[in-house]
């Protein structure tokens, strides 16, 4: 009997050590892959970065890379405007959807609604873009030409990141310990008071992590935005003006770019990578701060 217990304990320790080793190896490989991507982007863009000041990417008068003008700010602004607008729409809708599934819908309705959201998450981005090009853009064009615009990009991106926010918020809310909710109910709190005072604080870290993940997807989305945004390099004066994002610009021009033109597209990719890394750093800082 003693030997049997010792054998079980030894196997559990061995399994735990093996799992820890596999997870550590996976983390190291992920970090190395990210480091290699950053090094690759720097090497590919160094032929231009080594000769001009990085400030020129934000101060040049226009985007004409064949003529030595590398103004990236209109496309960076378009990226940030589209992503911010999409988040302003998707965050409240996504959190509301998660609350509906967890606390308000009947079990049967919650099951089907969650499956619908999961189906929406699996639709390829090019399908969203095709629907936006053939349906959404003509609808906006009836309100205010040309249709392909910042507003179309915001609506498509909001639809694409909505499932990410909903499903991560759902997982975070489902992870709230049942005893927290039972204690809140015993204190006589109404349903919304329980959600606001107990569920939200307990699930806050997971909800914020999902929002940051959705932000990364919105910033890097290419094909759908390319199909509906109009692809004009300019600062938009309103929601109905066409824009071009950094990711769409890379997809549009990489096929024929050469020399410095190709290098500045890699600079755009490096800028996108740095933005995503900043988001990852914010997520890590948030998690450490709230665990502490």
Q: How confident is the model at residue 286 (pLDDT cuts 50, 70, 90)?
A: low
Q: How many residues does the chain have?
A: 292
Cα–Cα–Cα angle for 133, 139, 145, rounded to 5 degrees: 90
pTM, 2 dp: 0.88
pLDDT above 70: residue 189? yes
Tens-place pLDDT, residues 146-181? 989 999 999 999 999 999 999 999 999 998 888 887
Residue labelled with tokens 């399908």: 127
Q: What is the pLDDT of residues 77-118, one digit of tens each?
A: 999 999 999 999 999 999 999 999 999 989 899 999 999 999
State the average pLDDT over residues 64-73: 91
User: Which residues, 6+ apart, have CB-to-CB distance to 260 below 8 Å?
Assistant: 47, 48, 65, 68
pLDDT > 90: what percent of the chain?
53
Torsion angle in degrees (nearest 10) through CA of 266, 272, 275, 276: -110
* % of the chain surpassing 70 pLDDT: 92
Structure confidence at residue 279 as a pLDDT band (50, 70, 90) = confident
At residue 27, the pLDDT reads 80
Give mean pLDDT, residues 136-152.
94
Banded model confidence at residue 26, pLDDT cuts 50, 70, 90: confident
- Please check the confidence at residue 283 and state whether its pLDDT lies above 70: no
Give the mean model confidence (pLDDT) for residues 49-71: 89
Q: What's the rounded Cα separation, in Å, for the pair 280 and 268?
A: 19
Arithmetic mean of pLDDT, 210-220 = 90
Q: Where are the alpha helices (DSSP H) in the chain?
A: 2-49, 56-59, 73-99, 107-121, 125-131, 137-143, 150-174, 178-186, 191-194, 200-220, 223-228, 246-253, 260-291
pLDDT the model gives residue 291 = 52
Give yes or no for residue 25 having a pLDDT over 80: yes
């Amino acid at each position: 009997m003693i030997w049997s217990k010792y054998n079980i304990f030894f196997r559990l320790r061995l399994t735990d050590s093996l799992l820890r080793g596999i997870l550590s190896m996976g983390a190291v490989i992920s970090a190395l892959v990210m480091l290699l991507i950053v090094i690759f982007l720097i090497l590919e863009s160094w032929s231009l970065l080594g000769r001009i000041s990085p400030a020129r990417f934000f101060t040049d008068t226009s985007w004409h890379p064949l003529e030595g003008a590398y103004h990236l700010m209109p496309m960076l602004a378009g990226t940030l405007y589209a992503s911010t607008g999409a988040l302003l729409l998707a965050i409240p809708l996504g959190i509301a959807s998660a609350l509906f599934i967890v606390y308000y819908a009947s079990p049967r309705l919650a099951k089907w609604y969650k499956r619908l959201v999961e189906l929406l998450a699996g639709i390829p981005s090019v399908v969203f873009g095709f629907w936006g090009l053939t349906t959404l853009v003509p609808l906006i064009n009836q309100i205010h030409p040309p249709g392909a615009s910042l507003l179309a990009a915001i609506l498509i991106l909001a639809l694409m990141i909505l499932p990410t926010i909903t499903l991560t918020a759902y997982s975070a809310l489902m992870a709230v310990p049942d005893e927290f909710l039972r204690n809140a109910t015993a204190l006589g709190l109404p349903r919304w008071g329980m959600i606001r005072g107990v569920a939200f604080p307990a699930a806050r870290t997971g909800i914020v992590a999902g929002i940051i993940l959705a932000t990364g997807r919105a910033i890097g989305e290419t094909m759908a935005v390319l199909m509906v945004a109009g692809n004009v390099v300019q600062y938009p004066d309103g929601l109905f003006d066409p824009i071009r994002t950094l990711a769409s610009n890379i997809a549009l021009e990489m096929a024929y770019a050469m020399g410095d033109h190709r290098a500045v597209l890699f600079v755009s990719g490096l800028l996108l990578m740095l933005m995503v890394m900043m988001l990852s750093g914010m997520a890590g800082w948030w998690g450490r701060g709230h665990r502490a």
